[in-house]
Amino acid sequence: MRYVSGKVLTAEGFIDGHVGFQDGMVIEVGEGGVARAEARGIILPTLTDAHTHIADYLVPVDLSLSLEELVAPPDGLKHRMLRLTSERELGKAFQAVRSIMLRRGCSRFLDFREGGAKGARALKQQKGWPKPFVMGRPLHLRFDRREVDAVLRNADGIGISSISDWDEGELSDLARYVRSKRRPFAIHASERMREDIDQVLDLRPSFVVHMTMAEDSDIESCVKQRVPIVACPRSNYFFGRTSPLGRMLKAGATVALGTDNAMFTLPDMLAEMESAARALRQQGVGDVSPVLSMALENGKKLLMRRAPIGMEPGTPCDFMVMRSHGGDPTTDLVLRGSSADPLMVCLGREEWKGGE
């Protein structure tokens, strides 16, 4: 059996311990170190990036443009650029971005994939880690049952821009149809401006993204209807907005973390965790440990997966080892973790080790 050793994250918190694994399976999680360990440091499950647009990696950043000019459908800069991109170029971009994500301990990501059925298929057919959970999108801002069926044959669910971009009736028909197919439906909400939360929640979304411009009552409405929120602090900072993470936690919201558009924010969940922790401190929240939940089990919940906080014997390997900086493991991870710190990422029988 092979081992990693150090501070191990369990459901009860961090312990001085080890993880034994063999043939792609976790065999043992126990207290105490071991003499022969392949990596030593902070041992935790891999991360989930709960909101990405990784195809945007191909789009050059134009700092003169507003958020709307960059990303709003159908003719924002990213949409114009992606329409001109070949499938081969797109595939290369996907591979490059997913390599960045894997080296930073991310095993799964939820991508809002533009381009209709063709766009969804281009990402869904990608092999290896990290695994995409594809939230496809119709080509046009209207409900077309045949087009939605085609998208759903190539995607896990539907993820759209915002209520501000759609006719209310068309959007309502789309959401209702996706739910009838028992697929997740998600939507950006109150990113550029405050939007009518009642109209958003009437769509019965599986989760909403951003809520940057939301009032306390909007966040409370999400909590009452048990709708999780995905926050993207670095992306929001780029446009001069702040994710109200403190207010979200105070209201009792389920919050996951995403990195958003890869044109101006690399999909680096370690950097996203740091930004979230610093935002919480700025907003008067002294405890930054909720950031771990945002990056671990809360993201997995959106994938409709069982989401334990630690590792369990008898389950496939799904863990990473981070370099310890000698402090508290939580603050080492969320305030001092960097892209240079992952020493090992183990996913089933596949592994990546730092320096490779």
pLDDT in tens, 261-302: 999 899 999 999 999 999 999 999 999 999 999 999 999 999
Cβ contacts of 110 within 8 Å, gap of 6 or more: 48, 49, 50, 51, 52, 132, 133, 135, 159, 230, 258, 299, 302, 303
Amino acid at 134: V
Q: What is the mean pLDDT of the segment spanning 18-32?
A: 96
Q: Is the pLDDT of residue 355 over 80?
A: no
Q: What is the mean pLDDT of residues 56-77?
A: 83
Q: 203 pLDDT band (50/70/90 cuts)? A: very high
pLDDT tens for 209-250 read 999 999 999 999 999 999 999 999 999 999 899 999 999 999
Q: Are residues 15 and 60 in the same domain?
A: no
Do 9 and 102 fall within a single domain? no
Same domain, 36 and 65: no
- Residues spanned by the domain of 22: 2-46+309-353
Whole-model pTM: value is 0.95
Quick one: 38 and 170 in the same domain? no
The rounded radius of gyration (Å) of the Cα atoms in the chain is 20
Q: Which of 345, 310, 346, 341 is nearest to 326 (CA)?
A: 341
Select from 329, 276, 283 the least CA-distant residue to 298.
Answer: 276
More confident residue, 73 or 142: 142
- What CATH number should be reported for the domain holding residue 286? 3.20.20.140
Question: Same structural domain for residues 162 and 247?
Answer: yes
- Residues 17 and 32: beta-carbon distance below 8 Å: yes
Can you name the residues that pair with 15 across neighbouring β-strands?
A: 8
Cβ-in-10-Å burial (0-12, 13-18, 19+) of 223 comes to: middle
Statement to judge: residues 345 and 215 lie in one domain: no
Instruction: Place 307 in a pLDDT band, splitting at 50, 70 and 90.
Output: low
Check whether 308 has a pLDDT greater than 70: no
Quick one: average pLDDT of 42-67?
91
**DSSP-assigned beta bridge partners for residue 10:** 13
Instruction: Count Cα atoms within 13 angstroms, Cβ side, for 208.
Output: 31
Asked whether residue 163 falls in the same domain as residue 297, the answer is yes
132 and 278 assigned to the same domain: yes
Helices (H) and strands (E) in the chain, counts: 14, 16
- Do 310 and 45 meet the contact criterion of CB atoms below 8 Å apart? yes
Work out the pLDDT band at 306, boundaries 50, 70, 90: low
Residues 34 and 134 in one domain: no
Closest CA to 272 of 157, 145, 105: 105
Residues 6+ apart with CB under 8 A from 221: 197, 198, 201
Burial tier of 291 (Cβ tally within 10 Å: 0-12, 13-18, 19+): buried
Domain endpoint, select from 277, 302, 327:
302
| Predicted confidence (pLDDT) per residue in 72-95, tens digit | 888 788 778 788 788 888 889 999
Token pair of 208 as six digits: 């909403």
Task: Tell me, yes or no, whether 90 and 106 share the same domain.
Answer: yes
Q: How far is CA 31 from the centre of its chain?
A: 31
Total domain count for the chain?
2
Among 76-85, 102-111, 179-188, 237-246, the least confident range: 76-85
Regarding whether 178 and 77 lie in a shared domain, the answer is yes
Domain CATH code at residue 322: 2.30.40.10
Residues 210 and 149 in one domain: yes
